[in-house]
Amino acid sequence: MPPHDDLRTIDGDVYVSPRYLAATTAIGDPGLAPLLNLGWEPEHDDLGNAYVHAPDRKVRLGYLPEGEDDGLWRINAYKDPFGPPVWGVCFNDSCPTEFVTAFTTALAEAYEQGPNAYLATPKPGSADRDPFLAVVPLINRGWQIDHPRWGVFAIQSADGLAGLEFTTGRLDLESELTTRDARWQLWAGTSIDRPAWYATASTDTPVALLRAVTECVSDPAPLPRWREETYSYVEGMAQLTPVIPPRPSAPTPLDIQRAAARRPAALPASSVPRWSTTSRSALPGSRR
């Protein structure tokens, strides 16, 4: 059990590891909270979708359980509130909620710093904006670099059940915002074509926001889930460990008998035959 966890506050009865084989908690509040705590304005439509707007309307988040596709979370940023998005990120409806929360937490921090942070375009060779910085947490935790096909740089977890792909060359921004053909794609499962979950980010997504997600995804600490809620982890792949270890069972009569058999025999007490006239030898002692 992670040392910081309090058994009374854990929302789950099992830990899922590795954490990228967890899935959604089906609760959007944790992902929305960092932005709502800044005073961003929430709205809802008649279908149950939620929308959160920055005060200057230059960042918008949609939580879309009744959306047209499986893109549950869509976050876009704008230079002009009435212009096209500068960057966009999507987390699908199976993505672990903790990864979304890592992104929105970093986004809230960047927004407080101003447009130079939340609109910071990646810049190769820069000390703090080089795209390579987004993959450093993965490399530091044992993920392995790969080149699965031409024009794609990839890095995979050691077990091969999660990966991050970076597509090189020119991409169409509209496709990046509306399809999975984006600059960045993070996924888990046995195939990127049929992932257990995925997340995408367009070309100009700030590196600091991407790094917050890769830090969270590669964190070795497990995530709590409920065993019966099989949608909340990748069943058959994830390792499940009880949050509260089972108590040792009471010993059976056979266990007691075996334990007694292993006990060393007692030393025989020294004695003198009852009717003997022979005196017992005196024990050595101090002389007077």
DSSP string, 71-119: EEEEEEE-SSTTS--SEEEEEETTS-HHHHHHHHHHHHHHHHH-HHHHT
Q: Which residue has the tokens 């790094």?
A: 211
Give the pLDDT of residue 237: 97
Q: Enumerate residue ranges in the chain where pLDDT < 70.
A: 1-8, 245-252, 254-288
- What's the pLDDT score for residue 5? 52
Query: What is the per-residue pLDDT for 6?
Result: 56
Residue with tokens 């889930």: 225
Predicted local confidence at residue 274, as pLDDT: 46
DSSP letter (8 states) at residue 230: G
Instruction: Give the pTM.
Output: 0.83
- For 6, counting Cβ atoms within 10 Å of its Cβ (0-12 exposed, 13-18 middle, 19+ buried), the class is exposed
At 231, list the tokens.
């949608």
The predicted pLDDT at position 288 comes to 42
| pLDDT tens track for 93-129 | 999 999 999 999 999 999 999 999 999 999 999 999 9
63: nearest Cα among 53, 71, 73: 73
Q: Which helix (H) or strand (E) holds 31?
A: helix 29-36
Q: Using CA atoms, how far apart are residues 238 and 39, in angstroms rounded to an integer?
A: 37
H/E run at residue 156: strand 152-156
Nearest to 75 by CA among 55, 97, 51, 56: 51
The answer to whether the beta carbons of residues 217 and 99 sit under 8 Å apart is yes
